[in-house]
Structure 1
């Protein structure tokens, strides 16, 4: 046969072979497997309607409708998520990621009929509460198993070790899933082909040597290990020498993990190491420089201390370095320029300082740089603006100053965040004209001047708030059709008239904040009703608003409305009442006179404070079903306490202070109700309702300046979270019983019961148990505040709604209002009562105290030396008592003491010198005739009496001493008077005579002071 004949025969046979393979490859799936899949669908696909209504999985899972393609009578090999073998037709792959599965996978499920499966993925489904069935061991051909984020629980069955061909296992984010040691050992011994193990957020804490078992496993093919937040045990060095290991994640809550890497006998092949969340509490180990093939090092939130070691920056292959949220200090080493392959650098949330080094000219591949929330100063380096590949730059919340350069080399910048610095000058034109820029935040700086035309039409986020900008708002803003977030609030006036209706042209706008407009016109000249289709949050702050009552715009999506400090007058208009989507409404600091008939709808947060509203609120909120925060303070509201509010268990914050409310409080407060209850400055009367003790979450209770008449509410002592208790200026009376309990206001930081009629000794047992006042929490600072927040979700709009607790204590001799209360602000005010006895030493244990006021009582004895331990004290008032003896030198230890008042007592001896005591004037000591030394004019010498004096009668109302006994004994006193006159004339004015007959003048001053303080 010739060459061409042979060739034809071969071609014919090859054609027949290809045709046969084509027929086989199009073979239908097996009927029993099709039936098994359809039956499995009925088992776990019963919650379709629920998910379509907006469940988590329906929102995030893009392939949700997979099972909808599964119909009886069709080839299962064509169904979405199903893969069949090209020859046998058996189902070998099943991918139902994010498919709306719900319920349990039972042991008799038809899923286990698919015995030819090689890959199985059920990740991101709602099968919470299910245990992992042992029948998964039937899938002996399985190479890939992914059951991540399914809510599985219980012990992992030992049959999982039957999956000997497994190459990839992902059981992550099943927090109730537990490994036992024997199961883990058997699994690692049998799976000789394993390459990838991902077990994040499962429980491996019961395995004593998890990592060493991996190091000793028979397979050396492992490339990926991920054990984030598993409680895994062992030493990092035990697995670093696995020859193929490239990716390793050991972060999270793994307290028994040892990270330090000693000198290795191998060269690790590791390219990615993630230790995020692992709290190392030390410097970055210098031995990490041994990981020479590392391309990605991620160690977020690790409590790393010390500086960034230069040796770490010698890892020549690093492309991704992320040390976010640690405690690193010092400057960025200049050896950063060695990382010439670096594409992502994140050092934000540390304590780095100094100037950012000018080394970026060699980092030409850098795409993302985050240095926010540090202490960097001075100007941004010029080399930073020469990076042509940079797409994201975040240097926000530092102390960077100076102007921005006039020119940059950025070609692909999409994010620029420089907020919270000291940048000044005008905003350069390049900032507003970058074609790819989508996110721009320059807020909270010192930029000044006008805003030039904006041509970055890709902008979605624009925040220029809180600068010194002025002039007109550029019309080009209304052409940024992609904007979703716009903040133009400024303390300086925007000139010209701003037509609010123009913002309706931005149909994608979700958040708008605008302040400082000298003329903000809401009502348009035409009768057109403008619709703000997507607007969810609107803040109009400190504007001169024109036409607010006649505005007719529509806000179909608005949930957050804040019209703070706009000089608004009259009744709240209809357009506000018609926004039935509102959950947050703030109309505070205006001149509004009435809320009108508001339906409240879905409202959760209401702030009408600092207005002129005079509505009767007795039944104001009875149709409100969702309100959690109500602030009506500083108005003229009348009526009784709304009974329906006492019955709402959802109410968390109620502030009614400084109104004209009256009557008794209802005794129907619900369990768990209230974190804040402030009714200060009204006319409430009667007894305190004991049902207040049901409010176990109560943090702030302010009942001051009312007419309550009751004994001390000791039944509140078990409110373990109570931090503020104010009962001042009422008619409380009687002694405060020294209860024997270890749980007496353990969290209390502000205790003000002043200006009442409490009597007996100071409440030593209470003071002894004020645990929160004893130890200064280092995590709290004066920048942290007691804040009660509503449960809202405005973070995406840049808003976190909050309610700020407020009090008005006497601090440093003056009544001081606090809108926000610092967390470390601790005071005790027991003044203007009828307390007697000595000052207890235990007060000296309250080292967090900032203010202590025990004035205008009948306290006796010495000033305790232990008060010198109050080294954080700023104000001490012990005036108008009957204290005796010396002023303890220990009080000079109070380095922060600014106000001291020891007047109107019977103190003697020299006034201590040094430190803060060198700053106090005569007023601090007046009325103590036995004191001497600076600043008094009386010098200390041997003639100054040192003996103790009996208590003088300072107040005839309290002690029954007046001048009638003197008049009765006038005749006898004449002889004595002549004798005394002779003494005075001969030897000068005796101190003891001045003290005795000076009582009348002291008494009058004491009364005058009391009247002034009460007012």
Structure 2
């Protein structure tokens, strides 16, 4: 029996060797292609993918697609997925590879078996986008071309993809202050528009998710709401932020009871406001409602939201919207509540506090009081807090100089998980220096106490510091203690004296933006120590020579020293900045070659 076993094992080993080395001949455009029988990939689809690879430039990419090699199984290539039974390519996901190409190569549209296509966060260009052959993707269920450098009208062929479940053509709103011209500068914005929203969605009845943020829909008039209600009855996610929408938020949308996420922020800028769409409060499965900057007016109904799973409610920057703080069927599920730059007030007594999951809170002047804050409890999950102290929502008034935010800061200090704090027109003292867990601090028009407190140096975990207007006097050298800082953004402040040399100690800084903020004198030479800096923009009264040490910043991709008083020659060391894609030294008194 043992000898039979050994013979069987030897036979199986030889069979394995035979199968692994045997060659199958497949027709490929009239030519014979030799592929191991174990390959799942179809040769014509591998050829199309290789042609697509040839169309890409990899100058800024995060990959070389090195696995995309002729003679290998394309089903194992980076970003490629195949059906396990047929071997057809069903997934092409090259999200955020930073690839560049001059339009979509026609080879892409021969992959007719695709079900999921994601080319987002690549510069695929827009020259041929209108004539692209998306209609060939009859099996496509998910299409993501967000932030991919597209421009012009949305290709009509996309509206023919009747099996689509998810469509994303967005340019995601980017907070420029979170890097400004740094890493986010290399996102590839779409510049798309659609003149007939009704025609566009007429065949997309299977859509569950629609993301068109920053697509210009201004020519669609008021039809967007009625069109969605008529043609896309199963829609669950509606994201139309910053689409230049007009007209009312049509009541026809009340028929879309399946809506879970509604994002309509930054729309409706015509002079006349609109009432809060009360029917949104009746959607049983609503989890996200973002209506910031939508020119809402009047009063919010006093009845509670019906959804027991509401996580995000953002009504901020609707300065004519008033009422009492909303009621919730289940406040314990709420993670974001933003009422800053509104006219909401709270009723006494306040509802029982059970905001146990709240992570982000934005409050207007009327709500900044210990009476109201105590109703929330400890808020141990709170990570972001924004306090809007502007009087009557006017930028040129702040809380009276006698107002005491000491108890408020004491309350804030109890929240050890707080990582982001925004103060808008708020008077405060050095108490901010006690919030040592902060990673982001934004101060807008916080000028009551004049100079920046030296206790700012206690915030050693800070990653992002934004100062817009306010402050006076010299910047404290304690700024150099913020050694974990990644982004420094200062605009319109009234600092005096030179830029402190201690800025050169911020060696982890990636982006520095200082515009018209009062600094005078020369640029400190220690700025050459900021060797991780990718973007630097300085405008204002800085004078003297551009220090030769600037040539040490060899990671710089963006350098703008505009409208200063620099004189002399451009330092020769600037040739070391081989990563530069933007150099602006205009409006100075520079000379030489």
TM, length-normalised to structure 1: 0.40
CA distance in structure 2 between the aligned counterparts of 1:509 and 1:172, rounded to whole angstroms: 27
Quote the residue 2:244 is aligned against.
253
- The alignment's C-alpha RMSD in Å is 5.5
What is the rounded CA distance, in whole Å, between the counterparts of 2:517 and 2:293 in structure 1? 36
1:326 to 1:90, Cα distance in 2 relative to 1, 3 A: same
Aligned partner of 1:284 among 276, 280, 283: 276
For the structure 1 residues 573 and 447, does the alpha-carbon distance in structure 2 shift closer, same or farther, using more than 3 Å as the test?
same
Match among 84, 88, 94 for residue 96 of structure 1: 94
Q: Residue 397 of structure 1 aligns with which residue?
A: 389
Among candidates 21, 29, 40, match of residue 41 of structure 2 = 29
Q: Deviations over 1:951-999 (max 9, x none)?
A: xxxxxxxxxxxxxxxxxxxxxxxxxxxxxxxxxxxxxxxxxxxxxxxxx
Counterpart residue number, 2:114: 117
User: Measured at CA, do residues 454 and 130 of structure 1 come closer, stay the same or move farther in structure 2, by a change above 3 Å?
Assistant: same
2:389–2:424 CA contact under 8 A, matched in 1: no
How far the C-alpha of 1:116 sits from its partner, in A, is: 2.8
Give the Cα–Cα distance (whole angstroms) in 1 for the partners of residues 228 and 461 of structure 2.
56
What is residue 1007 of structure 1 aligned with on the other side? none
- 2:418 aligns with 437
Listed one character per residue, the Cα deviations across residues 876-905 of structure 1 (whole Å, up to 9, x for unaligned) are xxxxxxxxxxxxxxxxxxxxxxxxxxxxxx
Cα 1:455–1:399 shift into 2, 3 Å: closer
Per-residue deviation, 1:306? 0.8
- Matched with 1:714 is none
- Equivalent residue number for residue 483 of structure 2: 506
* Structure with more relative contact order (C-alpha pairs < 8 Å, separation 6 or more): 2
CA separation of 1:75/1:351 partners in 2, compared to 1, >3 Å: closer, same or farther? Answer: same
1:533 aligns with 507
The answer to whether 1:39 aligns with 2:36 is no
Structure 2 residues not aligned, in runs of 5+: 1-14, 23-35, 172-189, 531-535, 552-558, 573-582
**Residues in 2 aligned to 1:472 and 1:139: alpha-carbon distance in whole angstroms:** 60
SS of residue matched to 2:65: helix
Asked whether the equivalents of residues 308 and 330 of structure 2 are also in contact (C-alpha less than 8 Å), the reply is yes
Q: 1:628 to 1:331 in 2, by over 3 A?
A: farther
Q: Describe the SS at the equivalent of 2:292.
A: coil
Structure 1 residue aligned with 2:341: 349
- Go from structure 1 to structure 2 and tell me whether the alpha carbon gap of 1:233 and 1:290 turns closer, same or farther (over 3 Å shift): same
Correspondent of 2:296 among 304, 307, 315: 304
Which one has a bigger Cα radius of gyration? 1
The equivalent position to 1:627 in structure 2, one of 586, 589, 593, is 586
Match of 1:69 in 2: 67
Match of 1:146 in 2: 144
Q: Does the alignment pair 1:275 with 2:264?
A: yes
Shift of 1:284: 1.9
For 1:486 and 1:180, locate their aligned partners in 2 and report how far apart those are by CA, in whole Å.
41
Change (3 A) 1:534 1:376: same
C-alpha separation in 2, matches of 1:39 and 1:493:
59
8 Å CA contact 1:234, 1:257 repeated in 2:
no
Q: Distance in 1 between matches of 2:382 and 2:331?
A: 15
Equivalent residues of 1:467, 1:491 under 8 A apart: no
Contact 2:284–2:307 (CA under 8 A) maintained in structure 1: yes
Contact 1:462 1:485 in 2 (8 A): yes
The Cα shift of 1:93 comes to 1.8
Supply the distance in 2 between the matched residues of 1:340 and 1:461 (Cα, whole angstroms): 27
Distance 1:561 1:534 in 2: 22
Cα distance in 2 for residues equivalent to 1:146 and 1:490: 44
Matched, 1:239 2:219: no
Residue 774 of structure 1 is matched in structure 2 by none
Shift of 1:37: 1.3
Seen in structure 2, the aligned counterparts of structure 1 residues 28 and 360 have a Cα distance that, compared at 3 Å, is: same
Aligned residues: 498
For 2:487 and 2:273, locate their aligned partners in 1 and report how far apart those are by CA, in whole Å: 42
1:531-563 residue CA offsets vs partner (Å, 9 max, x unmatched): 5535635799999x9xx9998644455643777
Q: Structure 2 vs 1, CA of residues 285 and 35 (structure 1 numbering), >3 Å: closer, same or farther?
A: closer
SS at structure 1 position matched to 2:274: coil
User: In structure 2, what is the equivalent of residue 364 of structure 1?
Assistant: 356
Q: In 1, Cα distance between the equivalents of 2:428 and 2:196?
A: 61
In structure 1, what is the equivalent of residue 83 of structure 2?
85
Aligned pairs for 1:640-719 (under 5 A) are none
Q: Distance between the aligned counterparts of 1:247 and 1:110, measured in 2?
A: 32
Question: How far, CA to CA, are the matches of 2:351 and 2:563 in structure 1?
Answer: 49
Q: CA deviation at 1:87?
A: 2.6
- Tell whether 2:477 aligns with 1:477: no
Secondary structure, counterpart of 1:40 in structure 2: helix
Task: Tell me the residue number matched to 1:456.
Answer: 436
Q: Distance in 2 between matches of 1:549 and 1:181?
A: 55
User: For 1:363, what is the secondary structure of its paired residue?
Assistant: coil
Instruction: Say whether the 8 Å CA contact 2:304–2:329 is kept in structure 1.
Output: no
What is the CA distance between 1:126 and its match in structure 2? Answer: 2.4
Q: Distance in 2 between matches of 1:540 and 1:197?
A: 41
TM-score norm. by structure 2 comes to: 0.64
Per the alignment, residue 424 of structure 1 pairs with 404
SS of the aligned residue for 2:569 comes to coil
CA distance in 2, matches of 1:458, 1:510: 14
For the residue of structure 2 that corresponds to 1:253, the secondary structure is coil
Distance in 1 between the 2:156 and 2:518 partners?
A: 64
2-structure distance, mates of 1:183, 1:472: 58
2: CA distance between counterparts of 1:168 and 1:553? 50
- Write out per-residue CA displacement over residues 261-310 of structure 1, whole angstroms, 9 at most, x where no aligned residue: 59x8x793433333331457232244444434433332232221111111
What residue is the counterpart of 2:25 in the other structure? none
Shift of 1:80: 0.7
